[in-house]
Amino acid sequence: MTRAQFLNELYRRLPGLTQEQAEQHLTYYAEMLADRMEEGMSEEEAVASMEPVDVIAQRILQDEGVPEGQPPRWPDLPETDGSRFTKTPDFPKRRNWRKLAQILLWAAAIAAAVSAVGRWRAQNISSTIAESSDAPPIEDVVDWRTHNDEEWAEEWTEEWTEEWAEEMEQWASFDGLYDLWGLEIGPDGIYGGNFSISPSGIVLSGGGREIFISPDGIALNNGAEELTDSMVGAKFRFPSETYRVNAGEIDSVGINWTGGIVKVRSWEEDYIQMQEFSDKKLTKAQELAYSTDGGTLSISNGGSSDKGLIVWLPKSTWNDLTVNTSSADIYWDQVCAEYGCAHSSSGNVTLSNSVFNVLETGASSGQSTLRSVTAVELQTSSSSGDVYLEGVVAETMDVSTSSGNISGFAAGNSISLSATSGETNISSGAAGSLRLNSSSGNIKAALQDNSPGSVEVQTSSGDVELLMPEHWGFALEFDSNSGYFDRGPFSVVRVEDAYIADGFPAIHIEAETSSGDLRLAANP
């Protein structure tokens, strides 16, 4: 007997149970069989090692208090291969061409979307979505709320909130689900290969990035921009119920998530709220799972791997805030924790407006963006992902990447930046020490505001460019096999192995390269 036959037989012998009850039991036995097969049993051996179906069924019915011989409480015995108890069932698709005319309403919706996007492009705030696979500079990503054309922004808001929402409301009353020209069209919106239009907003995908158009505005999601709550809703069309947890005894939150988006943000309420968003209606088993143990709230993605999750936390200093994902992008906004850890294997990690005692972030191949983040100890690592630092302040900061690039502005007492083959382009307000390390990548560091006591630079073949105010003085030791030293606008005298420049404040610079050049330049 195969696993599917076993489960079907069992299912057939459980009349009198509700379908939900029956499926709970079948899920348990499906898991038992899967565990056996995972340990090396064949399908037939796994089934043979179970008790006879009759015995199991009798036990279940006894346990549920259902007398044998009851007629089924569900209408028809479903056709199943057994996999429905361990895999995500497909969302049922109904094709009812009689209601095709209703789709015309969606045509109006599409027209409105296209018109909106057209105006957006006309305002020159979108030019790179499909033209280049390189991420645009952060400053090129424009949110309409900061756009200087207030009239246009006002018009957009009015149009969205009134006309567009009205259209969506009408559409949501339809009950069909259609396939048309490769599009999936239903009451929840239109979903195509690289775009979706839903009551929550519009998502256009291309060039490895996404444009979100929602009542909150327009943003290009390249992993560096703020992701509003409604953008999560725009990407995943089915919102779940909201789960609420009393925050009274909770001081730590741990999230394990696979794919999609995980957003953690603070709010004014005094309880924790969770809501997930998915591409399909979720069964109970596919919903997120959470539990509390001691003071820790643990959240995982349950049986569906590609979903959006928003967690709203009361404004408080959390003891431990940890999020681990496989491919899901991580967004934190306005959180405060003694210890924070955000790590994604292939997703992006974006933290903004947050404060920590100790913060560790990692994005193996994704992009790490820290914006207005303060920490006593900060450690950020990546393998091939880029690291953007914008207004990051830390007592000690350790940023490392292998082939990714490091850029932005960082300040602190002790800053260490290491990019093996990636480029480092940083403005630094290091007050104590600044260490820059590279193998083949070039380094460009602009020193400003606070003068670091010392700067250490190590590179093999990468070139180094140090910019600093022209009135600063320094004692520089340059050790290189074949690298060239360019003093730039600074007047230096050679004293033994050091280059000395008069000025105030005076800093100590040690640079060691193999073939890389060192060039000094004035910081404007």
Partner 1 sequence: MIDPQVKRGLLDVCVLSALRRGDSYGYQIIKDLSGCIGISESTLYPILRRLEAAGRLTVYTVEHNGRLRKFYRITPEGVQAVGQFLESWPEIQRVYDFIKECAEHDTCAVSQ
**Do 463 and 510 form a contact (C-beta atoms < 8 A)?**
no
Among the listed residues 351, 359, 310, the one whose alpha carbon sits nearest the alpha carbon of residue 334: 351
- Render 177-206 in DSSP notation, one character per residue: -EEETTEEEETTEEE-SSEEEETTEEEEEE
Say how many CA atoms lie within 13 Å of 187 toward its Cβ. Answer: 10
Nearer to partner 1, 285 or 498 (CB): 285
Nearer to partner 1, 36 or 371 (CB): 36
Closest distance to partner 1 from the beta carbon of 30 (Å): 8
Nearer to partner 1, 27 or 368 (CB): 27
Closest distance to partner 1 from the beta carbon of 524 (Å): 53
Tokens found for residue 78: 């479903």
**Do 274 and 313 form a contact (C-beta atoms < 8 A)?**
no
**What 8-state DSSP symbol labels residue 118?**
H
Residue reference for tokens 């097969």? 37
Report helix, strand or coil for 318: strand
**CA 209/CA 135 separation, integer angstroms:** 8
**CA 168/CA 104 separation, integer angstroms:** 13
Among the listed residues 323, 381, 329, 394, the one whose alpha carbon sits nearest the alpha carbon of residue 355: 394
**What 8-state DSSP symbol labels residue 131?**
T
Closest distance to partner 1 from the beta carbon of 249 (Å): 13
Tokens found for residue 9: 């037989």
Nearer to partner 1, 256 or 450 (CB): 256
Nearer to partner 1, 26 or 224 (CB): 26
How many other CB atoms are found less than 10 A from the CB of residue 299? 24
* Beta-carbon contacts of residue 170 (< 8 Å; ≥ 6 apart): 105
Closest distance to partner 1 from the beta carbon of 399 (Å): 31
Closest distance to partner 1 from the beta carbon of 314 (Å): 23
Report helix, strand or coil for 284: helix
Nearer to partner 1, 56 or 232 (CB): 56
**What 8-state DSSP symbol labels residue 247?**
-
**Do 475 and 451 form a contact (C-beta atoms < 8 A)?**
no
**Do 501 and 445 form a contact (C-beta atoms < 8 A)?**
no
Phi and psi (nearest 5°) for 323? Answer: -130, 125
Closest distance to partner 1 from the beta carbon of 14 (Å): 12
Nearer to partner 1, 32 or 180 (CB): 32
**What 8-state DSSP symbol labels residue 249?**
T
Nearer to partner 1, 49 or 170 (CB): 49
Closest distance to partner 1 from the beta carbon of 383 (Å): 24
Nearer to partner 1, 254 or 391 (CB): 254
CA distances from 156 to 115, 169, 196, 210, 476 (A): 11, 18, 19, 20, 56
Report helix, strand or coil for 157: helix
**CA 151/CA 252 separation, integer angstroms:** 45
CA distances from 155 to 89, 146, 160, 345 (A): 42, 15, 9, 41
Closest distance to partner 1 from the beta carbon of 326 (Å): 10
Interacting residues with partner 1 (CB under 8 A): 25, 27-29, 31-32, 34-36, 38, 50-51, 55-56, 59-60, 63, 86-87, 258, 285, 289-291, 293, 298, 300-303, 305
Nearer to partner 1, 343 or 435 (CB): 343
Closest distance to partner 1 from the beta carbon of 282 (Å): 12
Among the listed residues 447, 474, 446, 456, the one whose alpha carbon sits nearest the alpha carbon of residue 418: 456
Span between the terminal Cα atoms of the chain, in Å:
79
Nearer to partner 1, 28 or 97 (CB): 28
Nearer to partner 1, 132 or 291 (CB): 291
Closest distance to partner 1 from the beta carbon of 224 (Å): 29
Closest distance to partner 1 from the beta carbon of 12 (Å): 17
Closest distance to partner 1 from the beta carbon of 35 (Å): 4
